[in-house]
Amino acid sequence: MLNKIVPGLQPKKLNKFIPDKKMLDDNVGFVEILEVFGSDLTIANAARVSFNKESEFEPVKIGYGDGAKIIGYKLSTRDEKLIQYLAENDHVTPFFHPQIRFRIKMPIFVIREWYRHTIGFARNEVSRRYVTYEPEFFVPRELRKKDENVKQGSSSEVVDNSDEQIKLMNDYCKKALEYYNSLLEDGVCPEQARMILPQSMYTEFIETASLAGYARLVNLRLDSSAQLEIRKYANIVSCMLTKFFPVSWRTLIKSDYLERKVS
C-alpha cells in the first residue's frame, strides 16, 4: 500500500500503488517502477526533525466557504523552499530516506555501466545458472562512429557500412544462440553453457535505492559523455521519479536534463 499521486498534487493518505512500466524504443528493454516509499514531505520532515518539528501537506480546495471541496494535497511553499535549500547546500541525508524499487531489463554491456553505482543500491539479477529460457539480444538500429576528440564514446555520425554490420551482428547472435542451445541439449550445465552468450544479451534485475542514489546516477548517466544506450534508461527513470517527487527531483537534477529528450 503506497502513495498514489494526484497529477500536479501530492499524496496525503496511503492508497493502492499502480506500477508503471515503460518500454525502450526496441520494445524489449524496459523500466518498471514497482514500489515507492516516501514523498517530498518525507524529505522535508527528515530535515525538520533537527528542530523536533514536523510538517503536513496543505489541502487544495475548489469552491468557496462551506461548499469548498478538497481535491488533493500539496507541499507547502515553506517546505518547497526547505527542500531547495537542502539540495543547493549539499545537505543530502534527507534525500536518502525515500526508497524506490525498479525492475529493469537491459543488455549486459549497459548493466556493466549501470552497476558502477553501488552506494545505497541493492540488486538481484536473473541468473543463467538456474534458468535456460531463450535469451534475447540487443542489436542497434545503426552503428555510430568513434568520436575522434575523446578516448571513449561515440559521435552522432553513422558508419558507412552500418546496415551490413548490423546484419552480421544479427547473424552472430543467432549462431551464439544456436550453439548455446546445442550445449544444453548435449547435457552441458547452464552455468558453463552461458559463457558463449554475447554481452548484447538482455537480463533482468530488481533494484532498490534511495532518491539520492538515483539522483547521482541520473545526473551522471544523462550527461552527453555517457553512452547513448544508458542515457535512454536514465531518462525513463528520471521521468518516473519526477511524478513521485516533483519538488525534490527538480532540485536534485540538472535543469537541462529534466527537459532533455533522449532518442
pLDDT of 260 reads 57
What residue segments make up the domains of the chain, in order of their start?
Answer: 2-137+205-259, 139-199
Q: Output the pLDDT for position 3.
A: 37
Considering the entire predicted model, what is its pTM? 0.89
* CATH code of the domain occupying 2-137+205-259: 3.30.1360.170
Q: Would residue 221 show up in a list of annotated catalytic residues for this protein?
A: yes
pLDDT of residue 181: 97
Q: Kindly give, in sequence order, each residue whose CB lies less than 8 Å from that of residue 136, ignoring residues fewer than 6 positions away.
A: 28, 201, 202
- Residue of 116, 123, 144, 221 marked catalytic: 221
Q: Report angle CA 189, 195, 199 to the nearest 5 degrees.
A: 140
- Confidence (pLDDT) at 16: 57
Q: What's the average pLDDT block by block, 10 residues per block, for the chain (263 residues)?
A: 41 60 96 96 96 92 86 92 96 96 98 95 97 96 89 87 96 98 97 97 98 96 93 96 94 75 59
CA distances from 202 to 112, 128, 226, 263 (A): 12, 11, 20, 20
